[in-house]
Amino acid sequence: MKIRLINENGLRVDGRRPDEMRRMRMEVGVLEKTDGSAYVELGGTRIYAGVIGPREVHPKHLELPDKGVINCRYHMASFSVDERKPLGMTRREIELSKVIREALETVVFLEEFPRMMIDIFVEVIQADGGTRTAGITAASLALADAGIPMADMIAAIAVGKVDGVLVLDINEEEDKYGEADMPVAIAPHLNSIVLLQLNGRMTPEEVDKGLEMAQKAVQKIHQMQIEALKRKYRVEPEGLET
Amino acid sequence: MSLGLEKRGYGIKIMKNKIYELLKIGKRIDEREPLQYRKIEISTGVVEKANGSALVSLGKTKILTGIKVEVGTPYPDRPNEGVFTVNAELLPLASKTFEPGPPDERAIELSRIVDRVIRESKAIEVEKLCIVEGQKVYMIFIDCYVLDYDGNYFDASVLSAVAALKTMTLPVYRVVDGRIEAVPGEEMKLPMRTLPVSVTMALIRDKIVVDPLPAEEDVADTVVTIGYDSEGVLSAVQKSSPGLLPVNMFKEMVKIGLDSSAMLRRRLLEGVGDG
Amino acid sequence: MQYFSENELVVPGQILSDNPRQSGFGTYVREGKVYASVMGFAKSINGVLRIIPVSGRYRPQRGDKVLGIVSDVKPNAVEVDIGGETTAVIKPHERETTPLKIDIGDCVLAEVKATGLKGIVLATEGLQKIPSGILISVNAAKVPRIIGRKGSMLQVLRRETGCDFWVGRNGLIVVNGPDPAHEFAAVAAVNMIEREAHTSGLTERVIQMLRKMLGRGDEDSSN
């Protein structure tokens, strides 16, 4: 029996239209002991991101004389998925840590921190599709909250193909039974891609259209990021007395 | 804002003197009384994918526990008992002194203390977690994650684990043609005998304080955690730092801990909506 | 053209101006335009665009007063933990006849003499050893607010609480007062200033809170 992912009205398993995102919620400054932190919810996906640094490099031999280094750990709680995830890092988590780090590295002005390192921790508390993209969105907020100089923020979303239809922000079921999953992270002001993966079959035309959908959604997510940052710092224009 | 300084291998003299000075008049650096806990907040059911979950904050310390249930084979010497394991991780975003990688001795000590407090109090009625004797039993995985660390992760983790256990649900299984299957739409609560809690105390000179801050642990002569069940019977003790613990001081701690444990259990019951 | 209003809270990547010569602290130039690189309040000062950051770790500058704890005493240098996992050093003069009387665990306030590849060097001249008090860590970006314009906030804190304050630009602060009640009030005030650093009317609210805590709520606030 094949699971139908798009019904006769063109709606998806959770009732969304193909170009509709799930509810997203962001909060900045949620952890006490990091230099910057954020919490992001996207549908059932829940993520904490924390940034520590810039600090001295450990172990010492990894330090670079002319620029800083970024470490990134994407990690899922054992209970975040349907089948309990064994402890320790899986191959998937190690790969995602690398691509997330590379996405963020692209915008951080590393040359301002020679011989220093910045740690980025992405903790998935619950996974319901889109954890790497929500994780990057959260990590970018945490970096801004930590006061790390960057050329731009990063916002991310996944597009996918289910029952032959291109859909925005695929959930876990669509990821599992659909034909393709394409996570995209974009630096909105630079209008450039900083992370792109494709898992599944898509025609060149579909990739084009999918990117357009992602670009549109990224603008929306970026706007939410700005609002979340401003909420933390409760701006009152006349309030600055320095 | 926090009191003191993170990560160091030396004592800070001015803090030490201030902590001593304040304790002489029955005060602490964060304005608490010696036997007063920080503010406790408990929310349960925070991770729908888990069979049970609880987010507990104790002051600025924050612990998330999630529980997953599986079906597995019992131990040969306990053919009709369910199995549970406790694991704790010190997430590197919780403190600058926690590092990514496999659990270090602190994380392992934490998971073993939470395990002992629950196991030795016989809180979980494991004999009711048998599905087919000798073949199929419930396996319960209790995983505690330290999200924010500002001292005393022991008591916060125990509260979080027990709150998650108390509010979790398990699928109900039946045997059909020699195979087990989940009964659709049916769930059960975890059978529990008692609600264990732990009380962590620091001995600072001749004074005992409960729920110590990191700055207090730094100057403490020693730190002790005691687990109690609902009847006030001890189920676990851990002296978790070097230093001398005079016998009479430990006896005093057992009494102080008993009072605090009653308060913690009331808070726990309120937190799980049973108060 | 300028794309922001004075004191606007800007985020990294936000465009600020078309004139690359205006690029100042917290901004960068790309393709002839000026963008923000950190989050903070944008200001135009004498034609230069600067961002006053709202967060971030302390970056030592020559002349800053920093507070730290002596973490090691070596034959040729004294190491001082100045928070943020950073160590500074004090190098006593070779011809010094009386060695610095400092021990591991002592709390000191000193001026940054040099930064750079050789590390952060603190001056021995004017070095102060702090005898006693409560040590507090705050975000270094909030320190200017705790000090206030020309020290105005510190004056208020000292007057209202009767406590001594030693404030390091690195975010470490020591408070020492006549009795615990006044010290706790001082700590609460520092916490409030850090939390509400970017809001208006803060000085007045700090005074009100302190008077309420210390039971002097009915006194004239101009006093």
Q: What chain C residue is nearest to B25 in terms of C-alpha separation? A: C180
Q: Do B48 and A126 lie within an 8 Å CB cutoff?
A: yes
Tens of pLDDT, residues A164-211: 999 999 999 999 999 999 999 999 999 999 999 999 999 999 999 999
Among B49, B66, B148, select the one facing A32 at the smallest CB separation: B148
pLDDT band for position A241 (cuts 50, 70, 90): very low
> How far away is chain C from the Cα of A55, in angstroms, using its nearest Cα?
6
d(CA B69, CA B40): 27
Tens of pLDDT, residues B237-264: 999 999 999 999 999 999 999 999 999 9
End-to-end CA distance of chain B: 33
What number is the ipTM of this complex?
A: 0.93
Nearest-CA neighbor of B166 among B190, B145, B188, B144? Answer: B190
Q: Which residue has the higher pLDDT, C167 or C201?
A: C167
Span A24-234 CATH architecture:
2-Layer Sandwich (3.30)
pLDDT band for position C102 (cuts 50, 70, 90): confident
At C143 the pLDDT is: 95
Q: Which residues of C72-85 are buried (b: 16+ CB within 10 A; e: fewer)?
A: eeeeeebbbbbbbb
CA angle B264, B269, B270 (to 5 degrees): 95
DSSP annotation of B94: G
At A239 the pLDDT is: 43
pLDDT band for position C101 (cuts 50, 70, 90): confident
Q: Which CATH superfamily is domain C65-130 in?
A: Nucleic acid-binding proteins (2.40.50.140)
At C222 the pLDDT is: 45
The parent domain of residue B59 ranges over: 13-271
d(CA B46, CA B52): 8
What is the arithmetic mean of pLDDT over A49-65? Answer: 92
The crossing angle, in degrees rounded to 10, of helices B105-120 and B153-167 is: 50
Kindly tell me if the per-residue pLDDT of B116 is higher than 70.
Answer: yes
Q: Do C107 and B13 lie within an 8 Å CB cutoff?
A: yes
Tens of pLDDT, residues C169-180: 999 999 999 999
Task: Pull the structure tokens for residue C77.
Answer: 């240098």
Q: Which residue has the higher pLDDT, A71 or B274?
A: A71
- The domains of chain C are located at 9-53, 65-130, 134-213
Tens of pLDDT, residues B141-193: 999 999 999 999 999 999 999 999 999 999 999 999 889 999 999 999 999 99
pLDDT band for position C92 (cuts 50, 70, 90): confident
Cα atoms in the 13 Å half-sphere on the side-chain side of A131: 25
Query: What are the start-end ranges of the E strands in B45-122?
Result: 52-58, 61-72, 83-90
Q: Do A33 and B89 lie within an 8 Å CB cutoff?
A: no
Tens of pLDDT, residues B224-240: 999 999 999 999 999 99
Tens of pLDDT, residues A93-111: 999 999 999 999 999 999 9
What is the arithmetic mean of pLDDT over C136-162? Answer: 94
> How far away is chain B from the Cα of C135, in angstroms, using its nearest Cα?
5
Where residue B219 sits, what CATH number does that domain have?
3.30.230.70
DSSP annotation of C39: S
End-to-end CA distance of chain C: 47
> How far away is chain C from the Cα of A156, in angstroms, using its nearest Cα?
16
Q: Which residue has the higher pLDDT, C32 or C91?
A: C32
Residue B228 in any domain: the answer is: yes
At A56 the pLDDT is: 87
Cα atoms in the 13 Å half-sphere on the side-chain side of A107: 34
The crossing angle, in degrees rounded to 10, of helices C180-195 and C152-161 is: 150
At A238 the pLDDT is: 44
Range in A154-158, C117-121, C129-133, C200-204 the model is least confident about: C117-121
At A159 the pLDDT is: 97
Tens of pLDDT, residues B63-76: 999 999 999 999 99
Kindly tell me if the per-residue pLDDT of C29 is higher than 70.
Answer: yes
At C98 the pLDDT is: 56
Q: For an interface test with C, which of B8, B14, B29 has the most C Cβ atoms less than 10 Å from its Cβ? A: B14
Kindly tell me if the per-residue pLDDT of C97 is higher than 80.
Answer: no
Residue B8 in any domain: the answer is: no
Range in A169-173, C94-98, C109-113, C218-222 the model is least confident about: C218-222
Average model confidence (pLDDT) for chain A? Answer: 94
At A240 the pLDDT is: 46
Among B13, B21, B25, select the one facing C105 at the smallest CB separation: B13
At B8 the pLDDT is: 66
At B275 the pLDDT is: 57
Give B201's strand partners: B210, B224
- Topology of the domain covering C9-53: OB fold (Dihydrolipoamide Acetyltransferase, E2P) (2.40.50)
Kindly tell me if the per-residue pLDDT of A237 is higher than 50.
Answer: no
At A219 the pLDDT is: 97
- Is A79 within 8 Å of chain C by CB? no
Are B271 and B44 a contacting pair, CB within 8 Å? yes
Does domain C134-213 fall into CATH 3.40.50.280? no
Kindly tell me if the per-residue pLDDT of B29 is higher than 70.
Answer: yes
Among A150, A187, A240, select the one facing C41 at the smallest CB separation: A240
How many structural domains is chain B composed of?
1
Among B5, B7, B27, select the one facing C135 at the smallest CB separation: B5
Kindly tell me if the per-residue pLDDT of C95 is higher than 60.
Answer: no
At A60 the pLDDT is: 87
d(CA B50, CA A84): 9
